[in-house]
Structure 1
Amino acid sequence: MTEPESAEDGAVLFDVDGTLMDTVYLHTVCWWEALRQHGHQVTMARIHRGIGMGSDHLLDALLGDDHDHDEDADLSAAHDALYGQFWSRLAPLPGASELLRACAGHGWKVVLASSAKGPEAEVMIRALDAGAAITAVTTADDVSSSKPAPDLVQQALEKAGVPAGRAVFVGDAAWDAKAARKAGVRCLGVLTGGWTRQELTDAGAEAVYESPAELLDRLDGSALAAPPGRD
């Protein structure tokens, strides 16, 4: 990974699951099975709507704030064990790796802001194979509260060494757009996580693209054409 440069540069912050990696529905199935193993019948449709949150918010959303939090660690461990079976087969979305390299080539600091835990994030970074383009990585291990709280976005800004006004966040879920908005960062959306264009726009995304590949194709006409202050 490259080292952070001066604070005069801009940063593009990328969510990873569903934005760069085709993993949203794998997470959905693994949470469904983990919950089922512990006696909770939750539909996949409901689980899918929570993907993109960290497990702290996800379980509250699915089981209620008053559920037995003593089992959260076991539920999370069950999900992680199930999801770990797919690690060797995780794949980037088409155009994702090229998008990271293109953003770096346009002068942006590229920071990955993932709700995944460290080891899982490392697997995805290896799969993306764009390490030279990535300035920094922020994971769930770096923050006390996950998306839609702004902590992950704020930590990514700190690692990039840029203020919120010189950054753009790219995500696939309403939780990404809400977290970015709370942190004062512009947001672009992609549809590869299963959310609708209207939902992402309503949550705060200023523009929405079909996929990382479409954003790459339209990069020069997007908010990622060049960092603020550059021609």
Structure 2
Amino acid sequence: MTTRGDEPGDLPVAGGVLFDVDGTLVDSNYLQVDAWVRAFHDVGLEVDAWTVHRTLGQAGPELIERVGGSAAAAWTARLSDAHERYSAASAFLLRRTPGARELVRAVAAHGVRPVLATSASPASLERLRAVLDVDDAIRAVTSADDVDVSKPEPDLVHRALEAGVIDPARAVFVGDSVWDVEAAGRAGIPCVGVLCGGVAEAELREAGAVAVYRDPQDLLDRLDDSPLTRAFSP
């Protein structure tokens, strides 16, 4: 976890926008699906790609057990290593989703604290941050290593709020998966969904998303009328 500009114990007085990364700010979901399917194949487990896609947004161990069942849990270390290897090999194909960098910078320009709140591993997060190229604008970063349980549990959201020293009453989460929406909801934070991760609008709204946009650019184009203004208000 990284933070800047605050001392431990500072009161949460600022507004903030928490951003998921994979599928939300970086077009990586289908590369992640490919990496996981290959990893499962390496240990002799054949899984359907669609089941992997529907589990994205959770940390590796949770994804492995949900997709492969209890039999896969015994292979967690090997599966994680293989997934990392395949993810690194396809990293040259990563790109920002439309408007991702501009949206983060626009949030910061409103005096609001952008925080990256992702279930990605530290190694994967390093590659994603390189693609995003917004480290000068973000306030804090949290990853899978910062919590014991991943989304849809609210722990990562709580940790992101703490890391950014953000007032929960002035916070909004932006994500692409039902796990993002559910985690934010359990933390008492409204979640705005984006479709660029491949999850249908109906599913995001059913999970509790307060609004859904095509991608970060669509959200940026309608920023002043979006739920993100909750974070802008003093």
TM-score scaled by structure 1?
0.94
Q: d(CA) in 1 for partners of 2:64 and 2:167?
A: 32
Q: d(CA) in 2 for partners of 1:68 and 1:116?
A: 19
Contiguous gaps of at least 5 residues in structure 2: none
Helix, strand or coil at the partner of 1:149: coil
Q: d(CA) in 2 for partners of 1:28 and 1:227?
A: 33
Q: d(CA) in 2 for partners of 1:62 and 1:201?
A: 24
Q: d(CA) in 1 for partners of 2:80 and 2:209?
A: 29
Contiguous gaps of at least 5 residues in structure 1: none
Do the aligned residues in 2 keep the contact of 1:106 with 1:225 (CA within 8 Å)? Answer: no
Say whether 1:92 aligns with 2:132: no
Say whether 1:56 aligns with 2:58: no
1:167 Cα deviation from its structure 2 partner: 0.8
Q: d(CA) in 2 for partners of 1:89 and 1:63?
A: 26
1:2 Cα deviation from its structure 2 partner: 4.8
1:147 Cα deviation from its structure 2 partner: 1.1
Q: d(CA) in 2 for partners of 1:158 and 1:172?
A: 22
Indicate the residue corresponding to 1:31 in structure 2: 36
Do the aligned residues in 1 keep the contact of 2:26 with 2:96 (CA within 8 Å)? Answer: yes
Indicate the residue corresponding to 2:218 in structure 1: 214
Instruction: Provide the aligned length of Structure 1 versus Structure 2.
Output: 229
Say whether 1:149 aligns with 2:185: no
When the two chains are superposed, the root-mean-square deviation of aligned CA atoms in Å is 1.5
Matched residue type, 1:166? R
Sort the Cα spacing of 1:138 and 1:221 in 2 relative to 1 into closer, same or farther, 3 A: same
Indicate the residue corresponding to 2:76 in structure 1: 72
Q: d(CA) in 1 for partners of 2:48 and 2:77?
A: 21
Higher mean displacement: 4-13 or 145-154: 4-13
Q: d(CA) in 1 for partners of 2:148 and 2:4?
A: 26
Q: d(CA) in 2 for partners of 1:176 and 1:17?
A: 11
Higher mean displacement: 42-51 or 116-125: 116-125
Q: d(CA) in 2 for partners of 1:155 and 1:215?
A: 25
Q: d(CA) in 2 for partners of 1:183 and 1:57?
A: 19
Q: Any idea what the Cα deviations from partners look like across 1:54-87, whole Å, max 9, x if unmatched?
A: 11211121122x3252311101111110111122
1:122 Cα deviation from its structure 2 partner: 1.7
Higher mean displacement: 19-28 or 117-126: 117-126
Q: d(CA) in 1 for partners of 2:211 and 2:219?
A: 10
Do the aligned residues in 1 keep the contact of 2:20 with 2:117 (CA within 8 Å)? Answer: yes
Q: Any idea what the Cα deviations from partners look like across 1:173-194, whole Å, max 9, x if unmatched?
A: 0010011111111100000111
Do the aligned residues in 2 keep the contact of 1:24 with 1:193 (CA within 8 Å)? Answer: yes
Helix, strand or coil at the partner of 1:50: coil
Indicate the residue corresponding to 2:187 in structure 1: 183
1:165 Cα deviation from its structure 2 partner: 2.0
Q: d(CA) in 1 for partners of 2:230 and 2:104?
A: 13
Q: d(CA) in 1 for partners of 2:103 and 2:77?
A: 35
1:120 Cα deviation from its structure 2 partner: 1.6
Matched residue type, 2:45? H
TM-score scaled by structure 2?
0.93
Do the aligned residues in 2 keep the contact of 1:106 with 1:226 (CA within 8 Å)? Answer: no
Match of 1:108 among 109, 112, 122: 112
Helix, strand or coil at the partner of 1:137: strand
1:209 Cα deviation from its structure 2 partner: 0.2
